[in-house]
Structure 1
Amino acid sequence: MNASELRDKVEETLRTVHDPEIPVNIYDLGLVYEVKVEEGSKVRVTMTLTAPACPAAGDIIFETQSKLEAIEGVTDAYVLLTFDPPWTRDMMSEEAKLELGFL
């Protein structure tokens, strides 16, 4: 699997992770800031949460990490949590905004 195919698989996988308080996946919510596929099929994901005090933070990060590590071909996965820039509703996809009634 080349880097482009692996990146597609990573994005597909990120769409299976949900914030338990919001019925939309973390990718469409705009919580994923960056996906990098590095040499040797190492995956690095930089993401945030809807709020720094998110009660589900540990669960979301653990689920993201576990699912990335389970992707066939991934040799290493790392999830970096950041709050810079802070998340806003503007970062959501149009589909997510529509689903949550923000449009």
Structure 2
Amino acid sequence: MKNEPLRREQIEDALRTVFDPEIPVNIFDLGLVYQININEDQDVQVYMTLTAPACPAAGQILQDAEDRIKAVPGVNRAEVRLTFDPPWDRSMMSDEARLELGLL
């Protein structure tokens, strides 16, 4: 029996459980996730960035994101790739994130 196809929302929900240790908002609502690709084999590839290129928690954040994606039922493989193009800025945050950080 074949698994149900993965939905983007499942991956988004998983990424909403990953936090930068210095910021009390998840990486998805911070606008750090640029692209989510799911192929027919249920492999997931995510392109994301960080709030700053020299983020000391970069390795931990990327590993957490990959681990959370792998934990989604039906995911075959997960890969998280880091990019700084385009550079992140506060305008990429959701309204909820801005509210949480007192930026609204």
Match of 2:61 in 1: 60
Count residues with an aligned counterpart: 101
Deviates more, 1:21-30 or 1:64-73: 64-73
Q: Partner residue of 2:5?
A: 2
Matches of 1:39 and 1:60, distance apart in 2: 26
Please name the residue that 2:80 is paired with.
79
Structure 1: distance between partners of 2:54 and 2:14: 25
TM-score (norm 1): 0.95
- For residues 62 and 20 of structure 1, the distance between their equivalents in structure 2, rounded to whole angstroms, comes to 13
Q: TM-score, normalised by structure 2?
A: 0.94
Structure 2, gaps ≥5 residues long = none
Matching residue of 1:21: 22
State the Cα deviation string for residues 70-96 of structure 1 (Å, max 9, x = none): 111000111010000000000000010
Distance 2:42 2:36 in 1: 12
Where has structure 1 moved over 6 Å in runs of 4 or more? none
- Alpha-carbon distance in 1 for matches of 2:49, 2:5: 27
Tell whether 2:92 aligns with 1:91: yes
Which segments of 5 or more consecutive residues in structure 1 lack a partner in the other structure? Answer: none
- Percent of paired sites with the same residue: 58
Superposition RMSD on alpha carbons, in Å?
0.8
**C-alpha offsets along residues 9-36 of structure 1, whole Å, 9 cap, x if unaligned?**
1110000000000000000000000111
What amino acid maps onto 2:92 in structure 1?
Answer: M
Q: Which amino acid aligns with 2:22?
A: E
Distance 1:76 1:2 in 2: 14
3-state SS in 1 of match to 2:61: helix
Q: Hey, which of these two has a bigger chunk of helix by percent?
A: 1
Give the secondary-structure state (helix, strand or coil) at the position aligned to 2:80: strand
